[in-house]
Chain A
Amino acid sequence: MPVGTKRSYNSSTDELTATDLIFQGTMKGLLPEQVADAGADIILGNTYHLGTQPVSENQTPHIMPTFPTLKGKEVLSAAGGLHQWMQWPRALLTDSGGFQMVSLLKFAKITEDGVTFQSPYDGSYTRERNCMLIICILYYHTGSECVLTPEESIAIQNAIGADIMMQLDDVVDVKETNYERFKEATLRTTRWLDRCIAANKNTASQNLFPIVQGGVFTDLRDLSLTQLMERDSPGYAIGGLSGGEDKEKFWPIIEHCTRRLPQDRPRYCMGVGFAPDLVVCVALGVDMFDCVYPTRTARFGCALVDNGQISLKSDVYASDFSAIDDACSCSTCHTYTRAYIHALTTEKNPVGCHLLSIHNIAYQVRMSAHALWL
């Protein structure tokens, strides 16, 4: 059974937790109070290490950590966990970091040990840039290999202290079609789950979710489901399905998994967050979702509305004095008009991004809640 339900996470399948989106230890410039007011109960942090460009020789490495071995997990442990660090009073969920590493790192490779990657920069401190992540694992690269093992991923997630954490899974490249590769990933994911379970030091306060693998092959999905369910976890994630696969194959797999997963455990479909996908998945029995799209699109001046999205940079909204959405109760729609947000976004004022992020999060929460009633 899920533990650590002291926050607003609810394991009952009657309640949909729209896992709001997440972030970088920060929701795109919003205060935690603003995120909570928009209705978010749980936010997600990625364990992948965030980076900037590698420090060049000519640049004073003022971003270099004080000590080469200073790691994000130490910083977080010292801070008492991510909740405390970012002043978020509600629930948190962390990803393992594996997906980002494989999809974002140039030289990443999966081995039995973990996700291995090689720094292209010799002797320098490298942080690769990419979105989504908070806790910085700061690796000091010497040009040699670095590896994210299941144990290390769990150690970092323990330091983060989120209510829900994900196992490190064997992520298959989205372009892969080879059955054998998927089979390998399915079996390895189970082995890594066992390593994650063994490495978890906070079994009483953090819930570790396995991730069901198998690509679009139902027999592999069955294999994964059987093995993972033997571990009796507090909840289950369905992985490998947000890479843009054909929708005709997507729904049946979701349905296949949700039919077999235990009814009294939450089901989390990772990376699915677009409104149509979300609504269908809810109908198929999924409880939790995550998506960066709402806040990402807010940064580009787009607001989510019921029939899609509107780009407030367009001159169409220059004198539109209605709220973004009259049915929305977020602070942005309560205070500001489309015309003003148009002015802000066209003048590249960051306040515009903040206002749109608040609305988009509120929209996502409201839409998820509505999906429950369909």
Chain B
Amino acid sequence: MKFVLERATATSGRLGYIRASNNGCECKLPTPMMLLTTQTGSVPHLTKDALERVLDSSRKHSAAPAAKTKATHESLEPGKPVLSVPVQHFLNSHEALLAYNKGFTSFVGLPGHCVLATAQCSLTAPRGGYNNSQGVSVWTRSGRAYLKPKMYMQLVDAVDAVWCEALHDADTPPQCSNKRLAKSLASSYKYLEECLHAAQGRHVGLLVPLLGGWVLEQRQRWADKVKRLLKQDAGATRVVGYTLGGLSGFGAEAETLNPDQSLRTLLRASLVSTSPSQGFPWWGFPPSEVVGFPPSEGMGFPPSEGVGFSPSEGVGFPPSERVGFPPSERVGFPPSESVGFPPSEVVGFPPTEGMGFPPSEGVGFSPSEGVGFPPSEVVGFPPSEGEGFPPSERVGLSPSEGVGFPPSEVVGFPPSEGVSFPPSERVGFPPSEGEGFPLSGGGWVSLPLERKKRHDDAAATSDEEDEERPYELNLNLACYAGSSSVLLPGCNCYTCSSGYTRGYIHHLCSSREMLAPVLLQMHNLHHMLGFMEAIRAAVAQDSLQDLKEILLGSYRPLRSTPEETQSPSEVSSEGLDCPHEAASPHPKDGVTDPNFGEVELNVAEHSDGVSLNGARHA
């Protein structure tokens, strides 16, 4: 596996690809890229043929022009999206995996995809206080199990992972005690040493988590320790990149992470401190340069730093979405816990000075300057009510060109609640040569989804909320009952192009039918993939800032905590003015939504960025 950095820009991050070998065939995985979250080996709600429909529709309607990169002369086939597989899902199937001799991806019905293994499932927050120096606790159907480094690496083998994140203690929520944090770091260091040792005899590429919880000094200290360890440890040859972790963004908690300045500082501390240990020049750059963007053109970033991943807890990256910014030789993947960032925050972090790029390849940052995804939006949605599903409420829509994804749509999240994104605007999606983003009529719809429990709170179902968050549609709302419009007029995903109406999907949602999350997931995933293309195109054109502005202009932050939930509003029985309904014609009419092209971009003027917690600086 090799990472090729094709282009590093001043303000838009890095563009590259990973050459991976799959069953003897080499393929290329363009970065920034996102991973597909899986549960028990399958993308949530999707059978193999349903997933293939999504990947086909996404490929066919890909609007991305060829990235303007240096000539690579390599005509590799584009690879299928990488699967993120938490090995805890296979603890009870370990024997079966060992006995099966046709390969893990064949076992789960998804041959041709590479696998990145992580330890814990990002969709559910593990119970705190159950990790120790022996191993981390995971909960399976038979109860609690200890996952020790040796066992973890065996499971990593069993799932035929191409990359894996080293086992670490992720139980470090923002409010955890210093003692807990210290213990978690001590345990994680021990696990890391064991994983490095175990990796030596294996082919898997190891990703080293950059930890330290929410304490700056701890993050710096950890990064330094890891740096020293990698310089001396024989297993360091197997290290291919880093993940940004320790932020505990599992499940529902992921929505509450605020990728503000303090978070970015924490992440930068990890990235900046970590230097390549393989002889790459350590250029040293000011923290403002955000790690991870080492332009190879000599701007002062050490390409080798390979920053740019979403921390394991998923800052900024939906677990599924990990964007990897591997430094020239290192791949960074966001670990499973990725938090999502609001679309406005998109990708990576915007360096404060606008110079460095946030590992923008890694979507999911939500730096104020950056395009990012609201943590909530990232993959790995907080499962609704312990169902293990990401707040399905998230729907990510992107206009037909695939721009914009609903923040929530991150991969792998079944919009169980039937949220879907409204098509409102198109985001500047990969513009064709030299056109730049089509800002007008663009915009993307990325809506933070509401968690199921909000629905139960009877709080989050008003149309006003829909108005405020144009990125998503909550199909549970009764106002969609009679709708004859598709989710997003003009969308080319399976759900919209087949003609399933909002009314029908509303019916499925209110009847709690299993088809609801299937259709919504197909739509959302289509758009999420398209969003990544838009980002790559933006990076290629060095216009990521424009994309960010569009997103900031259209995105309304999600209420980040249940306490901030609005009070329930009465659903009036007459004249409910359903958002996004008025001018949404039936797709077969061939009429485009008149709302397109009339987006008013309210580009927020923010000094230190958009606060995720609803305090938008106007």
Residues of A whose CB lies within 8 Å of any CB of B are 24-31, 33-34, 50, 52, 59-68, 70, 74-75, 78-79, 84-87, 136, 318-319, 321, 331, 335-337, 339-340, 342-344, 346-351, 353-355, 358
Contacts and interface: CB of A to CB of B under 8 A. Distances in A.
B182 interface: no
A340 B41 contact: yes
26 contacts: A26-B514, A29-B514, A31-B50, A34-B47, A34-B49, A61-B571, A64-B571, A66-B478, A66-B482, A66-B574, A79-B484, A87-B500, A321-B100, A336-B48, A339-B100, A340-B109, A343-B93, A344-B41, A347-B39, A347-B92, A347-B141, A348-B141, A349-B42, A350-B45, A354-B47, A354-B514
A24 B573 contact: no
Contact of B478 (A30, A63, A74, A348): A63
Contacts of A65: 478, 481
Contacts of A74: 482
A30 B482 contact: no
Contacts of B90: 343
B96 A68 contact: no
A221 B510 CA distance: 41
B574 A79 contact: no
B40 A343 contact: yes
B467 interface: no
B271 interface: no
A321 B93 CA distance: 12
Given A60-B458, A340-B41, A340-B108, A318 B95 contact: yes
Interface in B82-105: 89-90, 92-93, 95-96, 99-100
Interface stretch (B303-311, B501-509, B595-603, B606-614): B501-509
A85 B499 CA distance: 8
A348 B108 CA distance: 15
A254 to B, nearest CB: 34
A21 to B, nearest CB: 15
Nearest to A318: B96
A138 to B, nearest CB: 9
A63 B501 CA distance: 18
Lowest 4 CB-CB distances: which A-B pairs, in order?
A29-B514, A60-B458, A26-B515, A351-B42
B107 to A, nearest CB: 6
B576 interface: yes
B188 interface: no
B92 A346 contact: yes
Given A340-B41, A351-B42, A75 B514 contact: no
A78 B503 CA distance: 10
Contacts of A331: 47-49
Contact of B513 (A26, A336, A344, A347): A26
A64 B478 contact: yes
Nearest to A357: B514
A70 B109 contact: no
Nearest to B42: A351
A21 B455 CA distance: 33
Contacts of B570: 60
Contacts of B477: 62
B562 interface: no
B503 A79 contact: yes
B175 interface: no
Interface centre among A27, A336, A337, A351, by most chain B C-beta atoms within 10 angstroms, is A351
Contacts of A64: 478, 571, 573
A86 to B, nearest CB: 7
A87 B484 contact: no
B485 to A, nearest CB: 11
A67 B574 CA distance: 6
Interface in B487-527: 498-501, 503-504, 507-508, 510-515, 517-518
B604 to A, nearest CB: 31
Contact of A340 (B49, B107, B500): B107
Interface in B24-59: 39-42, 44-50
A261 B53 CA distance: 46
Given A59-B458, A67-B573, A353 B481 contact: no
Nearest to B522: A31
B461 interface: yes
A78 B39 contact: no
A351 B45 contact: yes
A211 B503 CA distance: 33
Interface of B: 39-42, 44-50, 89-90, 92-93, 95-96, 99-100, 107-109, 141, 455-456, 458, 461, 476-479, 481-482, 484, 498-501, 503-504, 507-508, 510-515, 517-518, 568, 570-571, 573-574, 576
B518 A31 contact: yes
Contacts of B498: 87
A319 B99 contact: yes
B514 A349 contact: no
A136 B479 CA distance: 16
A63 B508 contact: no
A52 B510 CA distance: 8
A321 B517 CA distance: 29
B94 to A, nearest CB: 10
B497 to A, nearest CB: 11
A79 B504 contact: yes
Contacts of A354: 47, 514, 518
B510 A63 contact: yes
Contacts of A344: 40-42
B512 to A, nearest CB: 8
A52 to B, nearest CB: 7
A335 B503 contact: no
A195 to B, nearest CB: 29
Nearest to A339: B96
A332 B140 CA distance: 25
A38 B593 CA distance: 37
Nearest to B108: A340
Given A59-B458, A60-B571, A79-B504, A349 B40 contact: yes
Nearest to B568: A60
A335 B105 CA distance: 11
A323 to B, nearest CB: 12
Contact of A75 (B107, B482, B573): B482
Given A60-B571, A66-B576, A75-B503, 16 more contacts: A25-B507, A25-B513, A26-B513, A28-B515, A29-B513, A30-B515, A34-B47, A65-B481, A68-B573, A70-B482, A319-B96, A335-B48, A343-B41, A343-B93, A348-B141, A350-B517
A85 B501 contact: yes
A68 B515 CA distance: 26
A63 B512 CA distance: 12
Given A64-B478, A66-B573, A349-B40, A87 B499 contact: yes
Nearest to A341: B109
Contacts of A28: 513-515
B534 to A, nearest CB: 27
Nearest to A63: B510
Contacts of B576: 66
Nearest to B499: A87
Contact of A353 (B44, B46, B514, B568): B514
B95 A319 contact: yes
Nearest to B111: A335
A78 B41 contact: no
A62 B456 CA distance: 10
B78 to A, nearest CB: 23
Contacts of A339: 93, 96, 100, 107
Contacts of B45: 29, 350-351
Contacts of B501: 79, 85
Contacts of B461: 60, 62
Contact of A350 (B96, B479, B514): B514
Nearest to B518: A29
A339 B477 CA distance: 40
Nearest to B508: A26
Nearest to B95: A319
